[in-house]
Amino acid sequence: MEIIETVKGGYVRNMLREGKRTGGRGMMDFRSISVRAGVMPNAEGSAQADVGDTRVLVGVKMMPEDPMPDTPDQGNMITNAELLQLAYEEYEPGPPSPESVEFARVVDRGIRAANCIDLTSLVLEDKKVWSIFIDLYVLNYGGNLFDAGYLAAMAALMNAKVPNYKDGAADHRQRDKSLKIDNIVTSATFGKIDGSVLLDMDINEERIADTRLTVAADGSVIRAMQKGLRGSLTVQEVRDMIGVSMEKHAQLKSVLETAVKEAK
Amino acid sequence: MGSSLNKPELLKGGKRLDGRGFDELRPLRIEAGVLKNANGSAYLEWGNNKVLAAVYGPREAMPKHVSDPTKGIVKCRYMMAPFSGIDDHGRSGPNRRSTEISKVAREAFENVILLNDYPSGMIEIFMEVLQSDGGTRAAGITAASVALANAGIHMKDMVYSVSAGRIGEHIVLDVNMIEDNYSDADMPMVIAPRNNDILLLQMDGGLDRAQFDQAVKMVLEAGKRIHAEQKRALEAYYGSAEKG
C-alpha cells in the first residue's frame, strides 16, 4: 500500500510541476460538487455534500436545554465531527483525534463568526434555550473535508425545521417553523505542494501536501481561517487565497440554495 | 464569544480599555532556563498572562510505534491550569480547544525544527498557562520557542506569535481577554521572522481584505519587538551562565 501511495504522490508532483492536475482540473477549480438537503427526515435538518469522492453527511438536531452560564440570553450551538472508520482505512476508533476536533471547530467557527444563526432568537420560556447540535459524519474521505463539511452543515441548517415547543417540551413530530438563517458562509480550502498552490485537494494531493489553508467567507468579508500542516505560507499567498475564496462564494452559495429549494 | 447582553465598550477616548493604543503590545517579559529538570524552559509574562514552557528531548521516541527512523517527531501540549482564569474554575485535562491549539502549535514547530537531525527521536513541548488574560496560545508558543532554543534543539528560525483583532473599524494588536470575548475579529498568527513565513494562521469574526492586510502588517511590525525580547531572554541566560 505504501508503495502505491508513493507512486501516486510522485505522479501528482510530476503533474504539478507541469502546472497540471489529474482529470485536467485547473489549479483553482473545485471537483464536482453535489449537495442534497433533507436526506434524513428524522433530523430537524440534514444534508449530504459530495465534493469529488469526499462525502460528508450532516444531521442537525434541536433540544431544549439550559443555556451556557456565560451566555444566558443565547441558544447553544454544538458542532461535532466523526471521522467514521468506514470512511477511510486510516481512520481509527477511539476518542476524537486532533484532526476531527479541528474539523468540527473550524466549521463551527465560520458558522458562528458569520452569524448564520441568530443565537439570541433561540431563547425559550422558563430559562430554557434551544441547543442546536450539528453532527458532521464523514462517510467517505477523498481529500478536503473542510469545504464538504461547510457545505453539508450549511445546507442542513438551511433545511432545518424547529420542533414545536409547548409546556416545557419539544414535539419533534410537529415542526411548523423553519430555522431562521441570517447569513450563508462557505469555505475554500487550499493546499501547497512543492510551491504549487491548488484549491480543493483530492486524496492523493492531500496526502503529500505541505500546507493547507481554509478560508471561510460570506458575500462581504472573511469569517474564519485555519492553516494546517507543517508547511509555511507567504503573506501574498494568503492574500490570493482570500481573493479566490471570496470569489468562489457566490457559486457555492447558489449550490446550497438550489439544494435546499429542491428538498422542499 | 461573550453574551450580547453585557457587551462592554472596548474603546474609550481613542484608547483601549487597558489604556493601550491600537498597535501597542502589552508588557512582555521572558526568562529562559527556569526549570531544572527540563532540557529547556522559559517563563513568560505578557500582560496578565503567565505561561511556563518546557522542552524535553531529543530523546528516544516513545511509544515505539510512533518512532520514525528517518526523522524526529514533535509532541506538543498546550494546557490551561484550572485556576488560570479570573472567573470559573476550569475543568482539568485536555479539552477540544486545547487539543486544537496543541495540534496547530505542533505543526508550526515542526516547520522550524530540523527534524532530520533527530532520527528515531522525539521532542516534547509543554505549554502550561498558569494565568490567562487572552492571547494565551500566542504567549505559550512565544515562550516554547525560547524553551526550544534553550534546550539546544536545532531550528532554522525562532518563531514568535501574536494576534491581531478588530474593534469596530480599528485593527488592534495583541488582543486581551475582554477584547477577545467581544471584539469583531481575532486572528492569531505564528511567524518565522527570517522570511516572515506564516506557520500558524487562525481567524474568526469578520475582516475584509484591507483589514486583513493591515492586521498582518501590525503583526509583522510587532514581531520585531517580540523577537527582540526572546533574544534578550536567551542572552541574559547564557550571559549569566558564562559568568556563573
Residues A154/A97, Cβ–Cβ less than 8 Å: no
Picking from B139, B157, B161, B137, the residue whose alpha carbon sits closest to that of residue B149 is B157
SS3 B68: coil
Task: Give ipTM to 2 decimals.
Answer: 0.84
CATH of the domain at A201: 3.30.230.70
Q: What does the pLDDT average to over B11-21? A: 91
If you measure CA to CA, which chain A residue comes closest to B184? A113
CB atoms within 10 A of CB A127: 9
If you measure CA to CA, which chain A residue comes closest to B202? A226
Picking from B226, B219, B137, the residue whose alpha carbon sits closest to that of residue B171 is B219
Q: Is the pLDDT of residue B52 over 70?
A: yes
Bridge-based pairing state of the strands A196-199 and A211-217:
unpaired
Q: Is the pLDDT of residue B240 over 80?
A: no
> B151: number of CA atoms within 13 Å, CB side?
30
If you measure CA to CA, which chain B residue comes closest to A218? B206
Instruction: Find the DSSP H helices in B151-183.
Output: 177-182
Parent domain of A253 = 2-263
Closest Cβ opposite residue B204 in set A223, A232, A233: A223
CA-to-CA distance for A242 and B212, rounded, in angstroms?
Answer: 9
Do B96 and A98 count as a contact with CB atoms less than 8 A apart? no
Residue B242 has a pLDDT of: 63
Picking from B62, B65, B129, the residue whose alpha carbon sits closest to that of residue B102 is B129
Instruction: Find the DSSP H helices in A74-171.
Output: 98-113, 145-158
Cell of B131: 494565568
SS3 A74: coil
SS3 B20: coil
Q: What does the pLDDT average to over B80-102? A: 85
Do A102 and B3 count as a contact with CB atoms less than 8 A apart? no
Q: Is the pLDDT of residue B200 over 90?
A: yes
If one compares B92 and A216, the residue with the highest pLDDT of the two is A216
Residues B69/B83, Cβ–Cβ less than 8 Å: no
Task: Name the domain count of chain A.
Answer: 1
Buried b (16+ CB within 10 A) or exposed e, B23-37: bebbebebebbbbee
A239 interaction partners in chain B (CB closer than 8 Å): 209, 212-213
Q: Is the pLDDT of residue B2 over 60?
A: no
In which band, very low, low, confident or very high, does the pLDDT at B6 lie, cut at 50, 70 and 90?
A: low
A99 interaction partners in chain B (CB closer than 8 Å): 103
CA-to-CA distance for A196 and A256, rounded, in angstroms?
Answer: 29
Q: How far is A136 from chain B (nearest CA, A)?
A: 15
End-to-end CA distance of chain A: 44
Do B212 and A227 count as a contact with CB atoms less than 8 A apart? no
Which run of H or of E encompasses A197? strand A196-199
Note the pTM of the prediction, 2 decimals: 0.90
> A154: number of CA atoms within 13 Å, CB side?
34
* DSSP letter, residue B196: T
CA-to-CA distance for B184 and B194, rounded, in angstroms?
Answer: 31
Contacts of A39-42 with CB under 8 Å at 24 or more apart are: none
Give, for all 264 residues of chain A, the pLDDT tens digit: 578 888 888 999 999 999 999 889 999 999 999 999 999 999 999 999 999 999 999 999 999 999 998 889 999 999 999 999 999 989 988 899 999 999 999 999 999 999 999 999 999 988 899 999 999 999 999 999 999 999 999 999 999 999 999 888 899 999 999 999 999 999 999 999 999 999 999 999 999 999 999 999 998 999 999 999 999 999 999 999 999 999 999 999 999 999 999 997
Cell of A249: 462564494
If you measure CA to CA, which chain A residue comes closest to B191? A232
CB atoms within 10 A of CB A236: 8
* Ramachandran bin of B14, using left for φ above 0, alpha for ψ from -120 to 50, beta for the remaining angles: left
What's the mean per-residue pLDDT of chain B? 93
In which band, very low, low, confident or very high, does the pLDDT at B76 lie, cut at 50, 70 and 90?
A: very high
Q: Is the pLDDT of residue B1 over 50?
A: no
How many residues belong to chain A?
Answer: 264
CB atoms within 10 A of CB A195: 10
Cis peptide before B58 (omega within 30 of 0): yes
- Residue with C-alpha cell 524526529? B72
Cell of B143: 515562550
The shares of helix, strand and coil residues in chain B, as percent rounded to the nearest 5, are 30, 35, 35
SS3 A87: helix
